[in-house]
Structure 1
Amino acid sequence: MNQHINSIVQLYENNFKEKPDKVEMLPASGSPRIYFRLYKDGNTLIGAFNNDIDENRAFFYLSKHFSNKKLNVPEVVAISSCEKYYLQTDLGSVSLFDLITKNSISSNSDDLLERTVRQLVHFQVKGFEGLDSSKCFPIPSFDKRSVMWDLNYFKYNFLKPSGLTFSEVKLEDEFNRIADILLAEDLNYFHYRDFQSRNIMVKDNQLYFIDFQGGRLGPCLYDLASLLYQAKAGFSSELRQKLFHVYIDELSIHRRIDAEHLRNIFPFMVMFRIVQTLGAYGFRGFFEKKTHFIQSIPNAVANYLDLAGTTRVGEFGYIASLLKEYSNLIAKDSVDEPDGLTVSITSFSFKKGYPEIHPEHGGGFIFDCRFLPNPGRIDRYKPLTGFDKDVADYLNEIEEVAVFNNRVFDIVSSAIDNYIERDFKHLAIAFGCTGGQHRSVYCTNLLAKKLSEHYNVNIVVKHCEINR
């Protein structure tokens, strides 16, 4: 990471002939790109690292292209000679998603959404004009190959790891029928690809648009589907219909369109977008263990099933039947969960790796016990574990063990109080030591006992290295 920071600072210094006052790394998102905020005399810029040079070049080109069209996108201020680092204008930290989810849908957010939909049309129509699609990444236009990429992304990153049994033949047949419908559409638009509220920044009540480097020529309705059916945005059907009409109204100003045809084909674009996002959620969640992607899956599945039950999308019944089966499975899991907060406390061996995290956990703590005196180094305690009274008595007599466990209890108690107040359902605690036999087991059992005496919460204890 220091290499990235040094390279970003050097790029800043080369461009401005001075060093920034401060550099801070920004939270990771769904992409492998790494972002930093650079401060200087009250002003800020965003620094970025991306190892994919072709994707960066697409971003540089599209940013300039959109700026020339008077569309609100970040300006690229400086690019390193290797083209892996660049500086861009800072659009702040407040996204449209933040506003519509934290404040619910208000009159102000309603206005922002209408403006967003109208701006989408401008990106699609003005962005198409004069676009050199050969500079798009990774392909110049929406085609059969790219459709099948997304559908197979869903198959391999969502269906297969979900454990569902399915027919490859039936699924492939349905994929081909979907592709035929989508590719019959007018592809003479800029196809943004990931037009959703997390990629729209709000600064001084103005909308700014980011994360368009995967754009290409393609159909118009896919981007509208991306926005209106974003899994965690929680738009009502009434709001979706209203924004669809706003979109058609704006599009008709710039293009001659068949509004009835667009209305009929829209559910198929929504279906395709949801399937594509389920593939992304599966990859980021099942494989990369990123919690908020897993948390988005039930909403996306519900959106698809609602659509399949009310429109012609139901004709594509095989995917719907698989998602219905998946929905039943997760519904059963939720029924089996107890009410209130569940605190899972786990002991583990650092030699064997960290324990798996429940996908619904909003957070938690891992405590390293290896600095504490190790009973496993004493011959008479080696064959024993933290369950045994002799080991517990030995650790009970050591002051630093008591201090450590008291501090752990204080930290965890603060989190539990907060989680209960906010009606969170899961908190994960883990204690690790060298072998996962003595110190971590003792600390796990002690914390479980103390929490049960102070809180009315569900406590689940697991010892990874002990079969009891």
Structure 2
Amino acid sequence: MERLKQLFYKTYDVEPDKIIPLKGDGSDRKIYRVFFDAHTVIGIIGNDFDENVAFVEFTNHFHRQGLRVPEIYAEDLENGVYLEEDLGEWTLFDWMCEIRKRDGFTDEIRNMYRQVIEYLPNFQVKAGAGIDYTFCYQHVIFGRHSMNWDLHYFLNRFLEVFYKGEVVQSEVERDFNALIDFLLEEDRKYFLYRDFQSRNVMIKEGVPYFIDYQSGRKGALQYDVASLLFDAKANLPQDFREELIANYLEKVNEVASVNENRFMRYFYGFVLIRMMQAFGAYGYLSVVKKKKHFFKSVPFALKNLQILLDKNLEIFNLIPTLHRIYEGLVKDEELYRMGEEQ
């Protein structure tokens, strides 16, 4: 905390009136709202130097491109602190929940989601064309290594802990490789936001702003669309998801040439790999990090998995073992109960 106060004083030449901690995400960063006079800024303390550099450098690039991201006011990356613009209290998720519990899934929510999905190509294509990928702090591209890591995250942090059926390692590995080989057929020249979901969009004065893209890297267009549309607890109606895909494809084709049939050929494969990464995160954060509330997302994720199973997707022919495991997971009533109890 002291290093945050020092940066604040160095920047504004006053002591803060008050500093309050904000609810964090799945990372180990600490986030604070700093008050002075009639103003506020957000203070970040993070001990991962490379992560901090990625966020600050990507933010500065996006800001130069005119994208709606928080402005960086000051930084001391050697000491793991920086100050950024305060975008307010409302994430897209919280904003939506407040309206939804009162009025249902309204046109206001639908219109906001359209704004968000139609803004995504600004990151992927426009700003992505000039970004310096040397600042990526995990992987430079969402390729075989990244995909393999995500799939084993699912295996090690979720299946081995919660799945009650038999897991034959060699058969699972075969399916992992088949899925990866299939997804690697798609073009990966765009900026992949990596965690494009409802808690990483802030609603300020009725307009969406965007945060938490520090895990970004090169990748395929479909991944971020899948992340937003199949964000588990957001629980979007399936017909609306399909409408948003059409909105996105129309918008992205204003700045890139994207074949709709090719996009959809790979789309649900990216939905699956994103969902498996999310299942791994729910297991890791709830069991290892003791952040039990993350398990609340599991019943919603299982519902999404059931939607995909009901579609009888062609991709399931490539991954028969995973298909069988998925069918076992969606029938496990204990998983639903555990999620509801958190």
Could you tell me how far apart the structure 2 residues matched to 1:287 and 1:293 are? 11
1:218-297 matches, cutoff 5 A: 218-297=219-298
CA gap of 1:263–1:240, structure 2 versus 1, over 3 A, is same
314-323 or 30-39: which moved more?
Answer: 314-323
Counterpart position of 2:323: 320
Could you tell me how far apart the structure 1 residues matched to 2:53 and 2:326 are? 38
Counterpart position of 2:97: 101
1:405-424 matches, cutoff 5 A: none
Could you tell me how far apart the structure 1 residues matched to 2:127 and 2:277 are? 23
Structure 2 residue matching 1:117: 3-state secondary structure: helix
Could you tell me how far apart the structure 1 residues matched to 2:4 and 2:79 are? 12
Structure 2 residue matching 1:24: 3-state secondary structure: strand
Could you tell me how far apart the structure 1 residues matched to 2:171 and 2:98 are? 42
Deviation of 1:68 (Å)? 1.0
Could you tell me how far apart the structure 1 residues matched to 2:167 and 2:193 are? 32
The one-letter code sitting in structure 2 at the alignment partner of 1:203 is: K
Per the normalisation by structure 1, the TM-score is 0.69
Counterpart position of 1:42: 38
CA gap of 1:318–1:201, structure 2 versus 1, over 3 A, is same
Task: Check conservation: 2:163, 2:329, Cα contact below 8 A.
Answer: no
Task: Check conservation: 1:305, 1:320, Cα contact below 8 A.
Answer: no
Counterpart position of 1:129: 129
CA gap of 1:89–1:333, structure 2 versus 1, over 3 A, is closer
Q: How many pairs are equivalent?
A: 335
Structure 1 residue matching 2:215: 3-state secondary structure: coil
Deviation of 1:361 (Å)? 4.0
Deviation of 1:230 (Å)? 0.6
Deviation of 1:360 (Å)? 4.2
Could you tell me how far apart the structure 2 residues matched to 1:191 and 1:319 are? 25
Identity %: 33
Could you tell me how far apart the structure 2 residues matched to 1:233 and 1:31 are? 20
CA gap of 1:163–1:185, structure 2 versus 1, over 3 A, is closer
CA gap of 1:333–1:112, structure 2 versus 1, over 3 A, is closer
Q: Structure 1 residue 115 and structure 2 residue 118: aligned?
A: no
Could you tell me how far apart the structure 1 residues matched to 2:63 and 2:336 are? 49
Could you tell me how far apart the structure 2 residues matched to 1:143 and 1:38 are? 39
Structure 2 residue matching 1:23: 3-state secondary structure: strand
The one-letter code sitting in structure 2 at the alignment partner of 1:154 is: F
- Which residue, 18, 25, 30 being the options, matches 1:22? 18
- Aligned CA-pair RMSD: 1.6
- Which residue, 29, 32, 39 being the options, matches 1:33? 29
Structure 2 residue matching 1:59: 3-state secondary structure: helix
Higher Rg of the two aligned structures: 1
Could you tell me how far apart the structure 2 residues matched to 1:242 and 1:23 are? 42
Could you tell me how far apart the structure 1 residues matched to 2:58 and 2:12 are? 24
Q: Structure 1 residue 196 and structure 2 residue 197: aligned?
A: yes
Could you tell me how far apart the structure 1 residues matched to 2:117 and 2:266 are? 18
Deviation of 1:8 (Å)? 0.9
Could you tell me how far apart the structure 1 residues matched to 2:268 and 2:326 are? 17
Task: Kindly indicate whether structure 1 or structure 2 has the higher relative contact order, using CA contacts under 8 Å at least 6 residues apart.
Answer: 2
Deviation of 1:28 (Å)? 2.7
Q: Deviations over 1:134-185 (max 9, x none)?
A: 1112121111111101011111100111153300011000000110111111
Unaligned runs of at least 5 residues, structure 2: none
Could you tell me how far apart the structure 1 residues matched to 2:59 and 2:187 are? 24
Runs of 4+ that moved beyond 3 A = 331-334, 358-362
Q: Deviations over 1:268-323 (max 9, x none)?
A: 11111101111111101122232321111122122123213312233223223213
Q: Structure 1 residue 185 and structure 2 residue 181: aligned?
A: no
Deviation of 1:83 (Å)? 4.1
Task: Check conservation: 2:299, 2:340, Cα contact below 8 A.
Answer: no
Task: Check conservation: 1:118, 1:250, Cα contact below 8 A.
Answer: yes
CA gap of 1:102–1:318, structure 2 versus 1, over 3 A, is farther
Task: Check conservation: 2:297, 2:339, Cα contact below 8 A.
Answer: no
Structure with the higher helix share, 1 or 2: 2
CA gap of 1:92–1:332, structure 2 versus 1, over 3 A, is closer
Counterpart position of 1:65: 61
